[in-house]
Structure formats: C-alpha cells, structure tokens
Amino acid sequence: MMAQNKRIIIWSKKACPNCEEVKNYLSEAGYKYTSIDVENKDYLRDVLETKYGIRHVPVIEVGSEQVYEAIWEKDFEKLKILINK
C-alpha cells in the first residue's frame, strides 16, 4: 500500500479538528504514522517555522531518511499522492 521505507509524521495538537480528521483518514486507510504534539511547545512550532515558514498545525510530512515533503492543509488527495510517490 505504501512505498517501502516511507514515514508519515503529523505535527498536531489536542482539540484540533483538522488534525483529528487527518489522523482518522490515515488510520482508516491503514497507514501508520508518528504524531508530534506541539501543544504548549513553542520550540516545536519554531521548528515548523524554520522548515516551512508556518507555526500552525496540522503539518503532514512524508518521506524517508532525511528527505521529506510536507503539506499543511487537510487535502487528502494531495496527501495520497505524496504517500504513493
């Protein structure tokens, strides 16, 4: 289903409806993911700002080793394309 050795990382926080929708979508589609909770952790938001110029979540990163691509909107078609690249 997913390209070998690809990882999915979701930057999220509690009480974020878009974050929950993305997690539910991935779970229902059978994708494993790692979640990074940025709630009350400005240093993690700083990482997002450095990497992508944004501080909001969700941010979904897909990749392997040190090469990741990301989207930061709830666009399941775009996410599916990124996962299956």
Confidence of residue 74 (pLDDT cuts 50, 70, 90): confident
Which of 24, 1, 21, 22 lies closest to 10 in space, CA to CA? 22
Confidence of residue 66 (pLDDT cuts 50, 70, 90): confident
Which residue would you say has higher pLDDT here, 64 or 13? 13
Check if the beta carbon of residue 71 is closer than 8 Å to that of residue 60: yes
Domain ranges of the chain: 7-84
Tens of pLDDT, residue by residue over 12-56, are 999 999 999 999 999 999 999 999 999 999 999 999 999 999 999
Strand order in the sheet with 59-64: 34-37, 7-12, 59-64, 67-71
Q: What pLDDT is attached to residue 3?
A: 52
∠ at Cα 13 (10, 19), nearest 5°? 55
Are 62 and 7 spatial neighbours (Cβ–Cβ below 8 Å)? yes
User: Could you give the 3-state DSSP secondary structure of residue 80?
Assistant: helix
* Architecture field, domain 7-84: 3-Layer(aba) Sandwich (3.40)
Highest mean pLDDT out of 9-13, 66-70, 80-84: 9-13
